[in-house]
Amino acid sequence: MCTSVIYTAGDYYFGRNLDLEVNLGQEVVITPRNKTLEFREMPNLEHHYAIIGMSIVRDDYPLYFDGVNEKGVGMAGLNFDGPAHYFPVQEGKDNIASFELVPYILAAASSVAEAKKLLSNANIANINFSDKLQAAPLHWIIADKTGASVTVESTAKGLNVYDNPVGVLTNNPEFPRQLLNLSNYRSVAPANPANVFAPNVDLPVYSRGLGTHFLPGGMDSESRFVKATFTKMHAPVGNSEVENITNYFHILQSVEQQKGLDEVAPNTFEYTIYSDGSNLKKGIFYYKTYENSQINAVDMHKEDLEASELITYPVQNKQIINQQN
Amino acid sequence: MCTSVIYTAGDYYFGRNLDLEVNLGQEVVITPRNKTLEFREMPNLEHHYAIIGMSIVRDDYPLYFDGVNEKGVGMAGLNFDGPAHYFPVQEGKDNIASFELVPYILAAASSVAEAKKLLSNANIANINFSDKLQAAPLHWIIADKTGASVTVESTAKGLNVYDNPVGVLTNNPEFPRQLLNLSNYRSVAPANPANVFAPNVDLPVYSRGLGTHFLPGGMDSESRFVKATFTKMHAPVGNSEVENITNYFHILQSVEQQKGLDEVAPNTFEYTIYSDGSNLKKGIFYYKTYENSQINAVDMHKEDLEASELITYPVQNKQIINQQN
Amino acid sequence: MCTSVIYTAGDYYFGRNLDLEVNLGQEVVITPRNKTLEFREMPNLEHHYAIIGMSIVRDDYPLYFDGVNEKGVGMAGLNFDGPAHYFPVQEGKDNIASFELVPYILAAASSVAEAKKLLSNANIANINFSDKLQAAPLHWIIADKTGASVTVESTAKGLNVYDNPVGVLTNNPEFPRQLLNLSNYRSVAPANPANVFAPNVDLPVYSRGLGTHFLPGGMDSESRFVKATFTKMHAPVGNSEVENITNYFHILQSVEQQKGLDEVAPNTFEYTIYSDGSNLKKGIFYYKTYENSQINAVDMHKEDLEASELITYPVQNKQIINQQN
Amino acid sequence: MCTSVIYTAGDYYFGRNLDLEVNLGQEVVITPRNKTLEFREMPNLEHHYAIIGMSIVRDDYPLYFDGVNEKGVGMAGLNFDGPAHYFPVQEGKDNIASFELVPYILAAASSVAEAKKLLSNANIANINFSDKLQAAPLHWIIADKTGASVTVESTAKGLNVYDNPVGVLTNNPEFPRQLLNLSNYRSVAPANPANVFAPNVDLPVYSRGLGTHFLPGGMDSESRFVKATFTKMHAPVGNSEVENITNYFHILQSVEQQKGLDEVAPNTFEYTIYSDGSNLKKGIFYYKTYENSQINAVDMHKEDLEASELITYPVQNKQIINQQN
């Protein structure tokens, strides 16, 4: 379904794979500081932090899949079908619709700590954007430019904000279980393992990479959570922005869903429609798509962030092959 | 170490990932028809099929890692450390050094069937290119534009040419074992599996992609063989050359070795230095590198294939980011 | 650590493996109806259902590891180190020490439904049996002769009584997670699987039993939960008490911890000290030990169940080999 | 299908699980020294070493599944369906039918080294015992009281006698592959593993036994080969014959096939019909059956080994429960 990762390499890079069977028409959308953000049950925000990210726009409203703000806070919503539970509007609570949560947080939080405060009295309200556009079952990851990150899950038991020690999120099951499952992989490592299976017998290291033999490669959310965490944890730190963003996309690629591998309905396949990542400090938004392997970039600071209307860039989805002759 | 795949999509696409800890200085090299190909123990070939592929050049000799010829035959050499065994020059045999094998076959074979004939009396001779450049332990995959493919392995038991029903090759262990191991994965599928574990108990499909839960994700050659075969077998067929070559690189990406995950010596990591793929019919050679995610192309038919000197193109290794603003 | 299973075969058989690194001196203990059962914070029970099970006795108190009562209710306590949390004595609650829970339930419940009622206002109190004998971190399984079963877990979040649809319990993690993990094994089956991995390639069924290739065999609690559930779910129904109890012990044997495989401290190994199982209807308690593979039996109905003192039988731990010549 | 193990514990214990869907009517059979052993293509042996083992008897001929001789050599035949290939009788070779091989070796070899000599000119001939009793596709393990063992496989490529460094045999695939597969499990150990997956993150050891999390538990021959080898390699050494033989049966139990888990035809299930083990030095043959968990013993040295007729003991298949009250 989806995988989101924060990668630490001097600067911090945050983004996600969007895995789905249909392209919903997303664009790169900048919400400048003076674009009024309306909320169903909360006061409108007329002035706020500028936001850039991947989003669809309906009725002039940015329905962000993921984004980052000018303060270096990033946030992504990921499918959480099953445990996700939204509640009726509740008196005395900060009632936020699930589709409002990304702009709500990114508009006002300059750190994960501030995001946690914004969520401390929150109720994720079961409001649809419209009859046509029903609320999707989601959970969220929030990260900032100090490398901190949290997972936000609204389930039948209420709203949980979990510290996220690995900086990775995929999908169902609930986050504590995903985390606990990593313990099963304690022995998996980049180096070839010592022979503790039968120390008195010669068991040849017949291949490089035997230390990762038990790393999962499935499309399911548990497998992607394990693999993305491992890849991220061992990713090297580059010497430049280009090297880092390159490494970042390779991390996401380790859990890419290739076309044909995840059949979600007869002859209908989910795949990694796009991968994106932003430098949280610099406000540059990078992305690739399944169809276009070249990296594209939109720099929020090249726009007039004091504007009051959404700024959009179409997704470059055409494969441009560099013909050398 | 490496993964080679032939992908069927109307046309046939053949190429490989090169996984190594050092960049050996490879280039895109075209050997035109009248470049004399010298062999240590076999007659020189003054006229032959033109070849394009990834190669280093030493003493004006193309040491191809992989390549394709104008007749639509492709061939790649992959690490086979352990079982690989080359023999002393043997009277009455066609003695070919391991580093000569790719040009030897591609120069003269217009199909896999012809390649098999060329190998029917072959002896892979234990000759080094030079004192400095020792022969690497390799095995090979040969494929053609009908989709046929074979695996060539020279071990202590002699030379084996195996039909390759999956069109995939990685590394050690020997090919028949890699093939047999696939049987362990018979139940792995893109679709969510029926509950045959405990049919009377409700075991919810908590995630998409549970049908691939047992797909391996390791860097080792067994894991890559299984995953690449599965990905290839379920890859869709595109409607255009661009769509097919895009799909092809996604297949190779499913077994990409990210930096940091395969420690081959203390603090030294193998990774996927480049991925390449050629349309066997059209003679267009495409590649990407770890550092440069854009696809590059060199078309052999845009060159003078009647020439008598090697034609080389440098590998484009610089990440060109498409700045949208 | 431990595995408990209820097996359905006409009658119902309930019991467990006790996996530990030390033998605590357990015996087969019958608590007859008129043996006064004292509780620290609850009224004493002078008359109650008779109980048989494996227990240590301290200060004339039966500290049951597991047992069944004359009404066909069985209960076992299993290690739950980590999540287990007991609470201070709480006014208005039924405060029961963890070591009292098995006799408390078996003394008064004639069904799982009644056990649930007894637990509806319960608080598992953090009381030690004595300074020397500290409360162990446990969770419990309760089953009855209709085949119903529940899991009882007291964690920091409070007391949970979960319906147990598989009739199996091992150890940490919490029960809902153990249950969810079974979904990963939906495709595992006794029959050889169809080839859905690569339908167009011949992947020979080189071995019988390929349908269970992904069944785990580890000593850890997740592995044992999966394997015991699978074994139980596919166990045949016998035609006699002897055949059923034989089948029952084979189910437990599937998750036996052999000596040497589970090192819990340097050179100290946990293993399956005993396996037991009772016919819930007949009140016959059967057991084997690691040292003695013969099945032993104690029939509660052969005792005077109106008695007022504990009746104990020593565990037969000596291997009696049947010498045929 | 089957698993054979040699266990080192001061003395050496050798035997096997017989896994099958039908009981063939085996008995414990002693072939004394002067019982004439006839061979189809080799000279009869009128005097030879005495043998004890599990066997069916047809036309007064002992068709041993497995056995040991008075010199401390043990041998077992295990299913090898697929690779097994027997050859036409060949001039100049020692032509031995597959069903003759166990008596042929045990009659004359006082060590594994001598068995290898006996096999040095052997041809496993494709002769059936009778029209009704066709030759089964088998391979063999031979072990002796020094702990040495070899695997004997007759395939289309000829007869191979492999040194067996682990002293374990199951079924298909060929032995070198089974051995190589163990390398994938180098990191599996009885102790809880260090966290090398993500050293900077706290991944709690939530369960004992995490070091064996990746140990397989399937019924297939690869899974059993891995698990039996691991169990054997870490089995402790006992202080007495009883303790050792007890440990030995626990090793075999680790790969027991429970009824219901291995469906070989619709509603037909293979299971572990019997387990046996002999002290190679003492000539005592021990066994258990699926139906009878008590250990039975037959001591060859309590018989007149100079006799000339087969001596048989029926298999004790009735569960004798020790009633304690």
Cα separation of A11 and C227, whole Å? 45
Q: Is the domain C2-188+220-314 a CATH 3.60.60.10 member?
A: yes
A215: nearest CA in chain D?
A: D197
Identify the contact set of chain B against chain D, taking CB-CB distances under 8 A. 173, 177, 180, 184, 220, 222
At A29, the pLDDT band (50, 70, 90 cuts) reads very high
Structure confidence at residue D28 (pLDDT): 98
For residues C216 and D216, the answer to whether their CB atoms sit within 8 Å is yes
Whether the pLDDT of residue D1 is over 80: the answer is no
Q: Which tokens belong to C235? A: 């166990």
Beta-carbon separation of B186 and C195 below 8 A: yes
Give me the mean pLDDT over the A205-217 stretch. Answer: 97
Measured CA angle at D268 (ends D262, D270), to 5 deg? 40
Handedness of CA A215, A219, A224, A230 (dihedral sign): positive
Cα separation of D106 and D69, whole Å? 6
Q: pLDDT exceeding 70 applies to what percent of chain A?
A: 100
Mutation pick from B195, B203, B237 vs chain C, by most beta carbons of C within 10 Å, is B203
pLDDT per residue over B147-185, tens digit each? Answer: 999 999 999 999 999 999 999 999 999 999 999 999 999
Give me the mean pLDDT over the D66-88 stretch. Answer: 98
How many beta carbons lie within 10 A of that of residue A42, not counting itself?
Answer: 16
Whether the pLDDT of residue D280 is over 90: the answer is yes
pLDDT per residue over B250-280, tens digit each? Answer: 999 999 999 999 999 999 999 999 999 999 9
Pick from D143, D158, D148: which is nearest to D76 by CA? D143
pLDDT per residue over C263-310, tens digit each? Answer: 999 999 999 999 999 999 999 999 999 999 999 999 999 999 999 999
Q: Which residues of D touch A210 (CB under 8 A)?
A: 183-184, 186
Beta-carbon separation of A201 and D194 below 8 A: no
The DSSP secondary structure of D162-190, one letter per residue, reads EE-SS-EE-SSS-HHHHHHHGGGGTT--S
pLDDT per residue over D205-259, tens digit each? Answer: 999 999 999 999 999 999 999 999 999 999 999 999 999 999 999 999 999 999 9
Structure confidence at residue C154 (pLDDT): 98
3-state class (DSSP) for residue D245: helix
What average pLDDT does chain B have? 97
Q: Which chains touch A (3 or more CB pairs under 8 A)?
A: B, C, D
pLDDT per residue over C127-149, tens digit each? Answer: 999 999 999 999 999 999 999 99
Structure confidence at residue C318 (pLDDT): 97
At C6, the pLDDT band (50, 70, 90 cuts) reads very high
In chain B, the DSSP E strands lie at: 2-9, 11-20, 27-31, 51-58, 61-69, 73-79, 94-97, 122-125, 138-144, 149-155, 158-163, 168-169, 263-265, 268-269, 271-279, 284-289, 296-299, 311-313, 322-323
pLDDT per residue over B80-130, tens digit each? Answer: 999 999 999 999 999 999 999 999 999 999 999 999 999 999 999 999 999
Structure confidence at residue B142 (pLDDT): 98
Whether the pLDDT of residue A267 is over 80: the answer is yes
Q: Which tokens belong to D215? A: 């140990």
Give me the mean pLDDT over the A179-190 stretch. Answer: 98
The reply to whether B2 belongs to the active site is yes
Q: Which chains touch B (3 or more CB pairs under 8 A)?
A: A, C, D
Distance from A233 to chain D by nearest Cα, in Å? Answer: 6
Delimit the domains of chain D by residue range.
Answer: 2-188+220-314
Q: Which residues of D touch C212 (CB under 8 A)?
A: 217-220, 223, 261-262
Burial class (CB in 10 A: 0-12, 13-18, 19+), B54: buried
How many beta carbons lie within 10 A of that of residue B306, not counting itself?
Answer: 10
For residues C30 and C50, the answer to whether their CB atoms sit within 8 Å is yes
Helices (H), B51-196: 101-108, 112-119, 175-181
Q: pLDDT exceeding 70 applies to what percent of chain B?
A: 100
Structure confidence at residue A293 (pLDDT): 97
Q: Which tokens belong to C137? A: 């971190």
Q: Which residues of B touch C195 (CB under 8 A)?
A: 186
**ipTM here:** 0.96
Find all residues with CB under 8 Å of D168, minimum gap 6, and list them: D3, D4, D5, D6, D225, D228, D229, D232
Whether the pLDDT of residue B1 is over 90: the answer is no
Of D173, D221, D249, the CB nearest to C293: D249
pLDDT per residue over D184-206, tens digit each? Answer: 999 999 999 999 999 999 999 99
Structure confidence at residue A1 (pLDDT): 74
Structure confidence at residue C1 (pLDDT): 74
Q: Which residues of B touch C149 (CB under 8 A)?
A: none
Structure confidence at residue C223 (pLDDT): 98
